[in-house]
Amino acid sequence: MIPVSEALKIVKGETFILSSETVDLNESIGRILAQEIIADMDLPPFDRSQMDGFAVRSQDTEKAPAKLKIVGESIAGKGFDGEIKTGETVRIMTGARVPSGADAVQIIELTQRADENFVEILGAAKPKQNIVKRAAEIKKGESIFRKGERITENMIAAIASFRYARVKVLRKPKVAILATGSEIVDISKTPKQDQIRNSNSIMLEVFGKKAGAETTVLPIAGDDISNLKLQISEALKKSDVLIITGGVSVGDYDFTKPALRELGAEIFFEKVSLKPGKPTVFAKLGGKLIFGLPGNPVSVAVTFFLFVRTALLKMQGAENCDLKKGMARVSATIKGAKGRDSYLPVSLATDEKGNLIVESLRFSGSSNFIAFSRADALVFVPQNTSLEAGDIAEILYLP
């Protein structure tokens, strides 16, 4: 049995990085950048007016009211090219270029048009007032995003502004999902006596997609070693990663490990000091990664988030591939396990002071996916200890 940290180290060490490809920016959400994003121009590209009003030399308005001669206009898309001299002003619109000579913009509300050619500036304009200086947001050549950053919706405008209609990203890992168990039937079926629906495959499909993978769900493998071997070999031909659920324990009908061994896979670990998820298997065959997760849906979720997701993100070159850590106060006793570290799904709330609170979910066991459906995070309970109300615990946020 190895600690979770050791298992994670092995998984990361054995995970290869995929090749890159170029995709349209609007197809890039969730993908990991394989290139740096660099500003190809200053932003703003010129001194920009933030307001509708008059561009002035601030000195001219010191003793406001001041009557200035209107020598032109500067509008968005067509700035005023001349220079403003003493006693002159230019009508300017929001977003337009501030003409040379001007160092401030006075808002239209603080002006009064005297006649066609003259305007009265009613309030003194301070230098730089209502102007965003050229390159104040970013300078040409500056780096905006690094390789390894995951593209989010909020980044799109920033990337799009600098000539990246297409971006280089890491290829999506191809993930095959294989549920084992003679008792498992498709979710569209009504289970007969002794049968249950296959909730694991669809759960892994959506978790995998969220982690950036392209997923294929294989037909359910019964507890039949020759069929299992066949399905594993076929799956590995077409995928980078295979996730098997169930059949990893030592029951008479647990064939995942025997099948992997007979196929010649290298098994790196098969027991982790973890609850839930002790019998998790990690192996490699023909350079492909294989995860054998315990059959219980909650164990599947926890071990996916701890190990599989990490590998999927690492493959895509992500700089952050672990779950985000945090601290929260425990609201009631949460029991740990003897000889194993626990990573238990919990929901989070905030108390009246705004502190983050861990609320334990009522688990009747690692099969309780109904309780799991309310989980926001995993709380870490070190082996042979319990968390008591008021304790500050380490949590891992679920993505």
DSSP 8-state assignment for residue 284: E
Report in angstroms how near the CB of residue 251 gets to ligand AMP at its nearest: 6
Report in angstroms how near the CB of residue 155 gets to Mg ion at its nearest: 43
DSSP 8-state assignment for residue 8: H
Cis, bond preceding 382 (omega within 30 deg of 0):
no
**Nearest residue (CB) to ligand AMP, 59 versus 195:** 195
Give the max Cα distance, the chain: 97
Exactly one of 199, 227, 347, 385 binds ligand AMP (CB under 6 A); that residue is 199
200 binds, among ligand AMP, Mg ion, none (CB under 5 to 8 A by kind): ligand AMP
Report in angstroms how near the CB of residue 246 gets to Mg ion at its nearest: 4
Report in angstroms how near the CB of residue 347 gets to ligand AMP at its nearest: 22
**Between vectors from CA 302 to CA 175 and to CA 379, what angle results, nearest 5°?**
145
CA distance 349 to 160: 37
61 binds, among ligand AMP, Mg ion, none (CB under 5 to 8 A by kind): none
198 binds, among Mg ion, ligand AMP, none (CB under 5 to 8 A by kind): ligand AMP
**Nearest residue (CB) to Mg ion, 244 versus 274:** 244
Q: Which of residues 155-184 bind ligand AMP (CB under 6 A)?
A: 179, 181, 183-184
**Between vectors from CA 308 to CA 36 and to CA 253, what angle results, nearest 5°?**
160
129 binds, among ligand AMP, Mg ion, none (CB under 5 to 8 A by kind): none
CA distance 22 to 140: 23
Any idea of the CA torsion for 300, 306, 312, 315, to the nearest 10 degrees? -150
| Using rule CB under 6 A, residue 246 touches ligand AMP | yes
Dihedral sign for Cα atoms in the order 167, 170, 171, 176: negative
**Nearest residue (CB) to ligand AMP, 90 versus 302:** 302
**Between vectors from CA 397 to CA 37 and to CA 344, what angle results, nearest 5°?**
150
**Nearest residue (CB) to ligand AMP, 249 versus 320:** 249
**Nearest residue (CB) to Mg ion, 101 versus 181:** 181
Helix (H) or strand (E) holding 196: strand 196-197
DSSP 8-state assignment for residue 2: B
Site map (CB under 6 A) of ligand AMP, residues 285-304, x = contact: ---------xxxx-------
- Binding segment toward ligand AMP, per CB under 6 A, in 27-35, 45-53, 96-104, 194-202: 194-202
User: How many residues bind to ligand AMP according to rule CB under 6 A?
Assistant: 19
Exactly one of 196, 332, 370, 392 binds ligand AMP (CB under 6 A); that residue is 196
CA distance 249 to 201: 19
Contact 262, 229 (CB under 8 A): yes
| Using rule CB under 6 A, residue 247 touches ligand AMP | yes
| Using rule CB under 6 A, residue 280 touches ligand AMP | no
**Residues of this chain that bind Mg ion (CB under 5 A):** 181, 246-247, 295
Exactly one of 22, 112, 117, 249 binds ligand AMP (CB under 6 A); that residue is 249
- Binding segment toward ligand AMP, per CB under 6 A, in 144-152, 166-174, 241-249, 322-330: 241-249
3-state DSSP of 40-90: CCCECCCCEECCCEEEECHHHHCCCCEEEEEEEEEECCECCCCECCCCEEE
Residue of 180, 191, 175 lying closest to 221 (CA atoms): 180
- Which residues in this chain contact ligand AMP in the complex, by CB under 6 A? 179, 181, 183-184, 196, 198-201, 245-249, 294-297, 367
